[in-house]
A and B are shown apart, each in its own frame.
Chain A
Amino acid sequence: MIAFENVTHDYGGGPLFRDVTVRLDPGSFHFLTGPSGAGKSSFVKMCYGELVPTSGVVRLLDRELTSMPRDTLAETRQRIGVVHQNCEFLDHLSVGQNVSLPMTATGRAVSDDEFNDLLSWVGLSAHTDALPPTLSGGERQRAALARAIISAPEMLLADEPTGNLDWEMSQRLLKLMIELNRTGTAVLIATHDLNLIRLAKSQVSARVLRIAGKTLQTAGTEL
Chain B
Amino acid sequence: MSQRTISRLVVPRSGQNTWLVSVGAAAMCFLAVFAMALSVSAARLAQGWGEALAQTATVRITAPAGEIEGQTLIVLEVLRTTPGIAEAVLLAPSAQAELLEAWLGPDLPLDTLALPRLIELRETPEGPDREGLRLRLQAEAPGAVYDDHTRWRAPLIEAATALRGVALVSLVLIGGVMAAMITLAASAAMASNRQVISVLRLVGARDRFIARAFVRQISLRTGLGALLGTAIAVGTLLSLPGAGEGMHLLAGLGFQGSGWFLPLALPVIALILAYAASLATARRVLKGVT
| Interface residue ranges, A against B (CB under 8 Å) | 48-51, 70-71, 74-79, 82, 88-93, 97, 100-102, 104-107, 147, 151
User: How many Å lie between the Cα of A43 and that of B199 in the bound state?
Assistant: 19
A105 B290 Cβ-Cβ under 8 A: no
Q: In the bound complex, do residue B290 and residue A74 qualify as a contact, i.e. CB atoms below 8 Å apart?
A: no
| Contacting residues of chain B (67-90) with chain A, CB-CB under 8 angstroms | none
Within 8 A of A (CB), among B2-28: 2-3, 5-7, 9-10, 12, 14
- Given A50-B290, A97-B6, A107-B3: A90 and B196 within 8 A (CB)? yes
Q: Hey, what's the 0/1 contact readout for B11-51 against A, CB within 8 Å counting as 1? A: 01010000000000000000000000000000000000000
- By a CB distance below 8 angstroms, the chain A residues around B205 are 74, 105-106
Q: Is B200 an interface residue (CB 8 A)?
A: yes
Q: By the criterion CB–CB under 8 Å, are A88 and B199 in contact?
A: yes
Closest B residue to A110 by beta carbon equals: B1
Bound: A88/B195 CA distance, A: 7
Interface of B is mostly: helix
Residues of the B chain whose Cβ atoms lie less than 8 Å from the Cβ of A78: 203-204
B114 at the interface (CB under 8 A from A): no
Are A106 and B204 CB-contacts (below 8 A) given A88-B198, A100-B1? yes
CA of A91 to CA of B202, assembled, Å: 15
Contact yes or no, A101 B6, CB < 8 A = yes
Decide: A51 near B207, CB < 8 A? Known: A88-B195, A89-B199, A104-B1. Answer: no
* Chain A residues whose C-beta falls within 8 Å of the C-beta of B12 in the assembled complex: 92
Number of A-B contacts (CB under 8 A): 73
B290–A51 CB distance below 8 A:
yes
Question: Once the chains bind, are A97 and B204 in contact (CB under 8 Å)?
Answer: no
- How far apart sit A76 and B204, CA to CA, in the bound complex (Å)? 7
Which one of B3, B204, B206 has the highest number of Cβ atoms from chain A below 10 Å of its Cβ?
B204
Q: Is the CB of A77 within 8 A of B203?
A: yes
| Contact between chains at A74 and B206 (CB < 8 Å) | yes
- How many of chain B's residues have a CB under 8 angstroms from any CB in A? 24
**What are 15 A-B contacts defined by CB distance under 8 Å?**
A48-B202, A71-B206, A71-B207, A74-B201, A75-B204, A88-B199, A89-B199, A90-B196, A97-B6, A101-B6, A101-B199, A104-B2, A105-B3, A106-B203, A147-B203
Q: Name which residue of chain B comes closest to A51, CB basis.
A: B290
B6 partner, pick from A49, A91, A104, beta carbons under 8 A: A104
* B10 x A105 contact (CB < 8 A): yes
Q: Are A105 and B204 in contact (CB under 8 A)?
A: yes
Report the bound CA distance from A70 to B210 in whole Å: 13
Report chain A residues within 8 Å CB of B7.
105
Chain A neighbourhood of B195, CB < 8 A: 88, 90-91
Query: Which residues of chain A are within 8 angstroms of B201 by Cβ–Cβ distance?
Result: 74, 77
From B195, which residue of chain A is reached at the shortest CB distance? Answer: A88
Task: Chain B residues near A101: list those with CB within 8 A.
Answer: 6, 10, 199-200, 203
Question: Bound complex: CA of A107 vs CA of B7, how far in Å?
Answer: 10
A101 and B9 alpha carbons, distance in the complex (Å) = 11
Q: Are A105 and B6 in contact (CB under 8 A)?
A: yes
Whether B146 is near chain A, meaning CB under 8 Å from some CB there, is: no
Most chain B CB within a 10 A radius of its CB, from A89, A97, A100, A101? A101
Q: Which residue of B lies closest to A105 (CB)?
A: B205
Closest to A81 in B: B203
Query: In the complex, are the beta carbons of B203 and A102 less than 8 A apart?
Result: yes
Give chain B residues whose Cβ lies under 8 Å from the Cβ of A151: 204
Contact A82 to B202, CB < 8 A, known contacts A49-B290, A93-B10, A100-B1: yes
A74 to B3, CA, bound (A): 15
Assess whether B204 is in contact with A74, with CB atoms less than 8 Å apart. Answer: yes
Residue numbers in A under 8 Å from B5 (CB-CB): 104
**B198 cross-chain contacts in A, Cβ below 8 A:** 88
